[in-house]
Amino acid sequence: MKLLARYLLKELIVPLVVWVAFLFLLLFVMQFLRGTEVLLGSAVTLVDIGRLILYLAPHFLVMALPIAFLLAILLGLGRLNEDRELTALQALGVSPTQLLAGPLAIGVFLGGLMLLLSFTGEPWGLTAVRDLVNDVIKKNVAGDVKSGVFYEDLSDLTLYAERVSGRGERWTHVLLHDDREPSSPLLVLAQTGRMSTSGGEEALRLVLRDGEVHRANRSTSDYSLLRFEEGEISVGLGGSMNRKNRFRSPKEEMTPGELLQVAEEAEKSGGDPRPFLMALHSRMGNAVAPLSFALLGTPLALGRRQSGRAWGYLLTLGGYVLFYLLSRAFENLGNQGKLPVLVAGQLANVIFIALGVFAMWRVSRSGTTR
């Protein structure tokens, strides 16, 4: 039995690693394409890309491991079925239930790994990604402002500098149009200016010297003029520039302790703690997903007909989509209070486990192949 267990593990682990690598690369490319305005900026380096991959790795692994595991089961055990090896094992007295031990062991391991990643690595990584992307946005602003060119990538702000020196952080003869308040826009003219990035996430500041501010009220004829020696205009990354930062996921950035703390504070202040509790139980539900996929995927692979590989892959992807839709639907019901958050977080797994037990019972009655 030890030899059989090692053989089955080999048949599962190799395709699992391949599928995880493929899905990881696919997820990164998709995320990269969503953030091209940031990640293809003039200030981005290979070190920044490497740090981004490192920070996003826990998040991508949590997303990729369940479906990669389900595909590995269909590919590994399905190959044994197609080559009639399972028929030979059945003739030697090996039952379909015994073949379930390998996938269940890997499912338990992957579930523990996902629980660890979602509780520790994923919040750390997504928080680091947010800080990294905000820093890159700031550096891109400094690098993309050119002499004699209007810079309009800041929402509702237009910046012009007749001359740019240094690394793009010092400007001469500056024009800034601020249309963040449409009813009373600002026109700022200054002899010199620079960009300051100190002070944290909300601290992209434009420091201007020796200039004047023109304010017009579009609803009236009022017009104001103010001269200044030094002034600052703050551009918050959480506001206009956050449209470029597509990597934020506030609840996913929280650890379990932080989610519980925020839920408790919301309850004390009369708010709704369910969204935070639901986020915690959703992570637990995702960690149980490999176990339910092992119970459902194994009988599907054992009972697959010959030459049904394409159908098997389609069934696998359809099963994962169904699991995702059910999870989201139950999560919404949990957020609305129509289901207890504990039930909402695990109900999709309960359904898949029940289907897996039924499918295994049918395969056990009819044999490994049909």
**Mean pLDDT over residues 297-307, rounded?**
68
Q: pLDDT at residue 17 above 50?
A: yes
Rounded to two decimals, the pTM is 0.72
| pLDDT number for residue 270 | 82
The 10s digit of each residue's pLDDT in 305-364 is: 544 556 666 777 788 888 889 999 999 998 888 889 999 999 999 999 998 888 888 877
- Residue 354: predicted pLDDT: 92
Q: Environment class of residue 125 by beta-carbon count within 10 Å: exposed (0-12), middle (13-18) or buried (19+)? A: buried
pLDDT tens by residue, 69-95: 988 888 877 777 666 777 677 666 676
**Is the pLDDT score of 22 beyond 90?**
yes
CB atoms within 10 A of CB 191: 12
Query: Nearest 5°: CA angle at 179, between 176 and 184?
Result: 110
**Which pLDDT does position 239 carry in this prediction?**
43
